[in-house]
Structure 1
Amino acid sequence: MIKVLKPGFYTSVQDAGRTGYRDMGVPVSGAMDLFSATLANRLLNNDDNAAVLETTMTGPDLEFTEPTHIVVTGAEMQPAVNDAKIPYNRVIKINSGDVLSFGKLQRGFRAYLGIKDGFKTEKVLGSRSLYIPVTQTARIVEGNTLPYQPYEGDIENLIEIKIDNEFLFDTHIEVFPGPEYELLPEADKERIRTATFTVSPQNNRMAYQLKEQLLPNDFGIITSATLPGTVQLTPSGKMIVLMKDCQTTGGYPRILQLTEKSVSVLGQKKVGDTIDIRLRG
């Protein structure tokens, strides 16, 4: 198992998400940057849905009590084993008693720790993703233990494979027109196509708000289905991008829909980072 010595700012167990329960109001949850979580699992020859640790802004200190293999992907947080820096996107062998730590955030916002065969925490409604009130906690805390299956075998050496994840740190966000996109006046459509938008301090796993606003409006719709990546427009003109822990329905117009790839890109953005919207379709 892993002993949590320090939990980091916000570290949680996540997998590909909780599906099949949206009709009961249960969010999908899962990794904010699904690309990086999946990459970690594939490098370890895991199932894509194996549980990983998602770390936000600052990483945890973790002690391993059994041998295994790990991979760190996503944001660059200077990971180290026993104070010796380790590379990103590479399989690292872990021995009993080894301690994984993280340094200063250099790029991105969320890093992912994959472990051979995935973390074996409790499944609730078919997923290990932490989300209150479905699970008892939303994040790990100091003193927690995280179970995993010890592994002493060998994993195929993939060190020569070049992995291109630079798109995660780009500013481009690809979107499709949402169901209510045509309600927008031409001035707002032009602003979406040409303006630069800034991540506001109001951002978390539920939603990202953008600092710059569109025109005030009196649009009204019947409460309708929403998804991670749905961009809602409030009457004041504020744009809210729903993320992995978002509600399943909403009453604000759905003006845009991010691609899954762009949800990963936005999940690597922090307060003050800028994005530009690229409309498709």
Structure 2
Amino acid sequence: MPVLPAPATVPPVPPAPTAAELAAAHGLTPVGARSPLAEYARLLWGRRHFVVALATARQTALYSGARLGQLWQVLTPLLNAAVYFLIFGDLLGTGRGVPDYIPFLCTGVFVFTFTQSAALSGARSLTDNAGLVRALHFPRASLPLAATVAQLQQLLLSLAVLAAVLLADGVPLTARWLLAPPALVLQTLFNCGLALALARIGARTTDFAQVLPFVLRTWMYVSGIFYDLSRIAGHAPHTVRLLLDVNPALIYVSLMRYALIDSVSAHRLPPHVWPLALIWATVAASAGYAFFWSSEEEYGRG
């Protein structure tokens, strides 16, 4: 009986590479993948022109349907200040004994509105631009930052009006006005961090934007916008006075009042006001940035 040759050995077929292995071999990354923290900052800086352009477009479109157009950017803060003066200064008499009460009130309203509006628009920045977030790949932090820049542009217009109000009321132009720009820079950094943090919360909890206005309104009442808080809280417990003195809204409002109004003396400022302003700006900006970045991959997937 003839002996049959042994069958040839067939080498095993290597398994086909997975999609993940192919992507890694060709340098592909998932869409929306979170970049390292430093790399994310570099990407965000590269979108700085987009941030400014988006903020400017939003500000331009805000009153485009109104007959007076962009004039409302000036009229709105003035009308708000007039209403607050009628209620608090005239009817409730909170301005009695406060020198230069109209400049005092207008400065408080304009400066706090910057923080209030940045917080509100930042909290809605991702949900209001959900289509943009889902369609394009870009650092999502651009949106809350653009919202803050838009409110900064509004404030700069308001400050021009405020300067006219101060001079018309007899407040002199002094060298202390040079303190306004650094105070505004610190407040802007604080507002950027606040907007970033609230943007992440607002993206996860859709009802948050409905609750936030009540929180901000309460914050406004304890920030000395309509009255001299140092006179009212003079007999409060030490812990309450300490909490009021470290309130960031009060700190930035007080700095701008001290810079622009000569009758606001240094002893009416919260203790250690400049170091506290710097600490709040640094902590809010860094913590808000890291807090927002940590959920970069989740935005737009809901």
What's the TM-score once normalised by structure 2's chain length? Answer: 0.21
Name whichever structure is richer in strand by fraction: 1
* Max Rg structure: 2
What's the TM-score once normalised by structure 1's chain length? Answer: 0.22
Which protein, 1 or 2, shows the higher relative CO under an 8 Å CA cutoff with sep ≥ 6? 2
Name whichever structure is richer in helix by fraction: 2
